[in-house]
Amino acid sequence: MNCQEAELLLGGHLDGELDLVHSLELEEHLHQCESCSRALKRLENLSAGVSGISRYRASARLRQRLGARPGSARVPWLVAAASLLIALVVIWRYGPQSGRSTEDALAREIVHQHVRSLLADHLLDVSSSSRQTVKPWFSGKLDYAPDVQDLSDQGFELAGARLDYVEERVVAALVYRRAQHVVNVFVWPSPGQPDQPPAGRPLDGFHVVTWRANGMTWWAVSDLTAVQLEELPLCPCFMPPNRTLRADYRPPERRTLE
């Protein structure tokens, strides 16, 4: 990516509108180009400055003068239309679906961090298949203790862990392998939040699954198929034993021969 291409993407990057591939390419360019990094900083300062501009309500005299101008009969309709448009934008941005939009953005951030860990050769800070080694490693590095489970007997071998950055905080990332596939499992506290059953989705060629239990939020991401990723077992600290990531999981019914 050259500077001209990067300049065209800075606005979309600032607004979080770039897809994963362009976002990664731009970030790599920004790490190497001081000129484009300064241009992005100027955009960030401009955006912050505009958002901080004071707004003043028109005086009664000014509103009266505007109302007395020719064609002013159309003004109330314009004001009403503008108010309706603003209301619709607010409802769209902060209405019930805004939680969904937030979760979608978080899912993309999870996939982004997964890809970054593979491309940047920063998959593991501690490499071990022993939970007795991985779990204590987090001590002193986080303000919480993530639960670490050995799932090798169920097809997911513990490879180790690292520290990562999600939702503007440092979080734990547990790393499992299934054959040649890497599974990143991110976990952080969510005190006061209700438990949430597992829910999965495809995203940018990957599959992600999220759930919440016992005051902790979990995200798993991999290039495994949805069916394979859903076989990742949930240890008792996540949800009741003998459950998998299948949200619609039900024990098989016993059939009797007639």
Q: What is the pLDDT of residues 231-245, one digit of tens each?
A: 777 543 444 444 444
Would you place residue 56 in the very low, low, confident or very high pLDDT band (cuts 50, 70, 90)?
low
Cα separations in angstroms, 183 against 89, 155, 220, 231: 38, 12, 7, 12
Query: How many independent structural domains does the chain possess?
Result: 2
Residue 140 lies in a domain: yes
Residue 176 lies in a domain: yes
> Degrees (nearest 5) of the Cα angle 40, 45, 50?
125
Query: Is it the case that residue 69 has pLDDT exceeding 60?
Result: no
The CATH number covering residue 199 comes to 3.30.200
Residue 186 CB neighbour total at 10 angstroms: 24
- Of 12, 29, 50, the position where a domain reaches its end is 50
Q: 83-120 in b/e burial notation, b at 16+ Cβ within 10 A?
A: eeeeeeeeeeeeeeeeeeeeeeebbbbbbbbbbbbeee
Residue 104 lies in a domain: no
What is the model's pLDDT at position 159? 95
What is the model's pLDDT at position 33? 84
Would you place residue 25 in the very low, low, confident or very high pLDDT band (cuts 50, 70, 90)?
confident
**Cβ neighbours for 21, distance < 8 A, ≥ 6 positions apart:** none
Residue 249 lies in a domain: no
Residue 76 lies in a domain: no
Boundaries of domain holding 160: 122-229
Query: Is it the case that residue 2 has pLDDT exceeding 70?
Result: yes
What is the model's pLDDT at position 19? 74
Would you place residue 66 in the very low, low, confident or very high pLDDT band (cuts 50, 70, 90)?
low
What is the model's pLDDT at position 151? 85
Would you place residue 103 in the very low, low, confident or very high pLDDT band (cuts 50, 70, 90)?
confident
Here the tokens at position 48 are: 């912050």
What is the model's pLDDT at position 243? 47
pTM of the complete model beyond 0.85: no
What is the model's pLDDT at position 157? 93
Between 18 and 127, name the one with better pLDDT. 127
What is the model's pLDDT at position 98? 47
Residues 137 and 225 in one domain: yes
Between 121 and 241, name the one with better pLDDT. 121
